[in-house]
Structure 1
Amino acid sequence: MTLRRIYTNYLKIRWKMKRDGARLLSEEFLQDYKNHIGSFFSVMKIHNKGFSWEDWNINDFGRKKYDKYLKTTEYYAMHPLNGQYSHWIDDKLILKYLCVGTSLDKYMPKYYFQIDSFGNVLGLSDYQEKGKLSIDELITFLENTGELAFKRVAGSLGEGFYKGVYVGGTYMLNDKVLTRKELKLELQKFRDYLITEYLHPHKDMVPFCSDTVNTIRYLVGKKSNGEISLIKSFIRFGTIKSGFVENYNAGGVLCYINDNGVFEKGNLYDFELMKNIIITHHPDTGTELKGIIPLWNGIQKASADFCEHFPQLNYLGIDFVVTSKNEVKILEINSLTSLDSLQLAGSILDSKNGSFYKDRMKERLVNADA
């Protein structure tokens, strides 16, 4: 803890960062040293250039120019772009309850239970009973519905996600088959979890991957004149390697989407070479990575509705799912989209919406010198 505080203060001074950004960056940079113990000086050299290990290697900056790219340090120095309101979207439970009773709730999955930090099971807005419940009641509900999603209240990259299934007298958490007693013992260990409806991908997305919901990241930012614009959008498909999540850093496929909802070709992280590779077909299903996002207009409207309802928010990485029921749902909203996912196709600063970041960089330097 002492080392982290010292390093956080160093980053604040070295890169003129706010406390929140420096704290998050120190965690990432220290993790780089931990993950690459034998490459201490290589890691240090990369950090001194302003990049994290992943951002540097994924983009293969050792072999191409990096000076026109947004640096990891510059990106974290902007954080929190939503100021004191970041916690509204960083916490999935807060996000849900801010939408309950409004026109936005139709975009949210059904939230049935919470397992709090003490292991208590609580009924949420879409469950008929409220207050303190039991693990047995949760399991009975799983038996009645057939499947549920278990995810952390606050988390990212799909960490800690479980698919709960009951079929033919058998219980499963992800691929692990359990008896009812074993499932109860497993769930008694859970802390700070939400239990929601399990969503299935739209039929047009099933050929790419049927085991994940194939989330669409729709990143929007508010310009200095108050106008909200789309900065970047991409869809992620699961793979055998990524399992029940489809995150790029976990081995999933990432395909950029243009303004008309069209995607073509994909990005895959090569864990051996430690860099990004371009692919034309899904590595497992063989399906050509080319298509049109269904209900694209519905996604655009949902984003506009959310931004209008919450004018306090300036930077939102909205994770949409187009479901098998032809619905547009919001899984979560991220306040700090991973930088590597934004620059696989080139510098985000050179994109048509790169001005969003350039303006924030200028504002930060002005405030730092004030």
Structure 2
Amino acid sequence: MYDWTIDGMLRAGFSKKMADYLHGLWKQEKESGLWAEEDLEWAHARGFLAESAVAYNLKEAEHIEDYLSDYEYYRIWPLNSWERIWINDKLTLKYMLAGTKYDRYMPKYFYYKTEDRLMPLMDCPEDCRHSSADAVALLVEREKKVACKPCNGALSVGFFELSYENETFYINGEVCGKEELRSFVEKHPNYIYTEYFVPSTQLGEIFPLIHTIRVLAIKDGEEKSKIAGGYLRFGTKDSGHANYMNSNSATVFAYDVKIDTESGRFSEGKAVYIDRIEDMPYHPDTNVLVEGTIDLWEEARDMVIGITEYLGLCEYMGFDICFTNKGVKIMEINSHSGIKHLQMRKPLLEEEWCRTYFAKKIEALDRLTSEEITKRNQLMR
């Protein structure tokens, strides 16, 4: 039986950070009215949130034990040691890969906005390399489109598209003047300004804004890095400039697609609501059949494995990659990415090597002394 109270989680070895987070999700779904009480009890008794149990169709699953539970996944955070700082924010990752053979897979980085100034970065054009807010306007005029996002964030929160067309500036498609653009820059510290991605012709025909492919890679000690799973997601007209919708109501869905991480074959589009999954083989806005094999997939796989080996002290990495008109690109790498959408397509514990990896992490927590548990409760980053 799982104890979903904060005190119970702390006794089980959770960090206070993750205990608070998971307890909040547990409480939110109990109060949502979306599930019958018996369904909530069934899922929670097995360590799963109700929304995960629905996404995995757990009541019909032949092998529930193949699915890593939400309770255990949040309990074993952090899977990476202190070296997770190498990937936890976009700017550090950029510098970690700069000058390596993997540098070409990163977007161009133009500026970073500190609390008090705009700092030109390595890919900033020479004539834009000054620290006034007007430099961004000059850059946007030159590039036509620039992406702007928090240096460390999640779920596509805070993403902006800055653009210039017909002598007019736009923020997320809304007209703005130079003064408004200057104000925007000043009001968004800890933001980076990067190359704007345009999807490859193949994937752009499905939806014109950039997609994301999440690929989970694991390096277990001396073993060669392996890919544990992945999925493809597309934006919709409702998701705006982001391609992820946090499905926290019965009327909002994310659009997910199965991908074979060996071959790059994709198919079986689904609308993922918080309380149900609906088959949707055609994109809901463009009505294009979402099916095919991704061009350059072998190169993308080699890149993921290569970077996982190169940053080998980070043993657990969730890559967000895309396929653009300039080739394969990395959006970011996550140190503890969500697993619901991954396990919808392939249970993480289905393969023996992956089951063993997670089992070792759980068993290590079960052996902790009370003093070690107290110390672990205090982990914040």
Of 242-251 and 335-344, the range deviating more from structure 2: 242-251
Change (3 A) 1:240 1:368: farther
Residue by residue over 1:135-156, the C-alpha shift from the partner in whole angstroms, topping out at 9 and shown as x without a partner, is: 1111111111111000111111
- Give the distance between the partners of 1:303 and 1:346, measured in 2 at CA: 19
- Give the distance between the partners of 1:214 and 1:203, measured in 2 at CA: 12
Of 26-35 and 332-341, the range deviating more from structure 2: 26-35
Which residue in the other structure is 1:304 paired with? 305
Change (3 A) 1:265 1:353: farther
Residue by residue over 1:33-89, the C-alpha shift from the partner in whole angstroms, topping out at 9 and shown as x without a partner, is: 357646599598455542335324434557768842321111112211111111211
Change (3 A) 1:31 1:244: same
Q: Is the 8 A contact 1:29 1:52 kept in 2?
A: no
Which residue in the other structure is 2:254 paired with? 252
- Give the distance between the partners of 1:331 and 1:167, measured in 2 at CA: 25
Which residue in the other structure is 1:89 paired with? 87
- Give the distance between the partners of 2:368 and 2:258, measured in 1 at CA: 34
- Give the distance between the partners of 1:120 and 1:227, measured in 2 at CA: 43
Residue by residue over 1:234-289, the C-alpha shift from the partner in whole angstroms, topping out at 9 and shown as x without a partner, is: 21111112221112535332212111111111222135xx2222321111111112
- 1:317 counterpart letter in structure 2: G
Which residue in the other structure is 2:273 paired with? 270
Q: Is the 8 A contact 2:219 2:308 kept in 1?
A: no
Which residue in the other structure is 1:220 paired with? 217
Residue 339 (str. 1) matches residue 335 (str. 2): no
- Give the distance between the partners of 1:252 and 1:289, measured in 2 at CA: 14
Which residue in the other structure is 1:4 paired with? none
Which residue in the other structure is 2:23 paired with? 29
- 2:27 counterpart letter in structure 1: Y
- Give the distance between the partners of 2:9 and 2:338, measured in 1 at CA: 19
- Give the distance between the partners of 1:205 and 1:128, measured in 2 at CA: 29
Partner of residue 202 from structure 2, selected from 201, 204, 225: 204
Change (3 A) 1:267 1:367: farther
Equivalent pairs, count: 356
Q: Is the 8 A contact 1:59 1:276 kept in 2?
A: no
- 1:222 counterpart letter in structure 2: K
Higher RCO by CA contacts (8 Å cutoff, separation 6 or greater): 2
Q: Is the 8 A contact 1:321 1:330 kept in 2?
A: yes
SS for the counterpart of 1:358 is: helix
Which residue in the other structure is 1:320 paired with? 321
Partner of residue 133 from structure 2, selected from 132, 135, 142: 135
Identity %: 26
Identify unmatched segments of 5+ residues in structure 1.
1-6
Which residue in the other structure is 1:124 paired with? 121
Of 64-73 and 242-251, the range deviating more from structure 2: 64-73
Change (3 A) 1:51 1:35: closer
- Give the distance between the partners of 1:128 and 1:288, measured in 2 at CA: 40
1:366: Cα distance to partner? Answer: 4.2
Alignment TM-score, normalising by the size of structure 2:
0.84
Which residue in the other structure is 2:365 paired with? 364
